[in-house]
Chains A and B, each alone.
Chain A
């Protein structure tokens, strides 16, 4: 299986909650970059806790 296919599979198997949280993080990076840097570690920790 190629690397691309593996990554695709991982994304497909992601829970909707995790996908949504990743979307929020990406959106937040753009909307408030300064605050994102401050909250980055906490947001990543929160993301890691979502299965």
Chain B
């Protein structure tokens, strides 16, 4: 069998101390959600009916309303697995620590898949809605309008103190950067001198790669979930949704029969819940 790493391992001078890997995607879900890494399969968050205060002329009387609670539950339903096998000859003839590289690559693959899953779940579970003007984020004249609508839909609630965010795809940046350069002196100056600003009008902008917002049903990307998020983006208030990865990422190395070397597998479990009382603070943005 050919050495799939390289046939010139011992003759080449390598530029880096590690095997080069594919471009890595940015991870954003952790920035906008509460993260739970405890070992629980379900996380409950009971919520109560809204309590109304009556203001009245002094009378000394009142009418009580029943105080009821409803259970809301985050259930971990999906598993993420990235597995590979490192043959002994790959490891023996390499100038690099292939197991370290495999662990890094597996971690990267897992968190990228996890992030895509979480971003789509967040978009799907949010009940706030907003349709952009025609052209979406790629039309620079729309950007301020879109951001101000996100702010307007979420402002006035105490949760807004967590800060606002919007998650866009990299292809949306053509309009956003142009808007930043044109919006006002200080923004334009900062954009011109420092490049892309990660915040505009107080809304933090997170960028994921094109294709992250997906339409899929029970695929290798969506697990047990169904999404119709192609052409959508998500924004709103941070930290109003929770995602759980019980005990984080796990790794196993095992020798298997009939093969030299070791099988390396990384895996984790995950689930996301946009809690009902704050669901309107997560806005499913439809690009027109």
Contacts and interface: CB of A to CB of B under 8 A. Distances in A.
Interface in A10-41: 21, 23-25, 27-28, 30-32, 34-35, 38-39
A31 B125 CA distance: 11
Contacts of A35: 124, 127, 284
Tell which of A23, A24, A38, A39 has the most Cβ of chain B within 10 Å.
A24
Question: Size band of the A side of the interface?
Answer: 10 to 19
A43 B228 contact: yes
B222 to A, nearest CB: 10
A interface, by DSSP: helix, strand, loop or mixed? helix
A24 B225 contact: no
Interface stretch (B3-11, B39-47, B211-219, B240-248): B211-219
A47 B280 CA distance: 28
Interface residues of B, number: 14
Per DSSP, chain B at the interface is strand
Contacts of A42: 286
Interface in B199-215: 215
A32 B217 contact: no
A24 B129 contact: no
A27 B228 CA distance: 10
A38 B129 contact: yes
A32 B226 contact: yes
Nearest to B129: A38
Contacts of B216: 24
Given A23-B217, A24-B216, A24-B217, A31 B225 contact: yes
Contacts of B228: 24-25, 28, 39, 43
Interface of B: 124-125, 127, 129, 215-218, 225-228, 284, 286
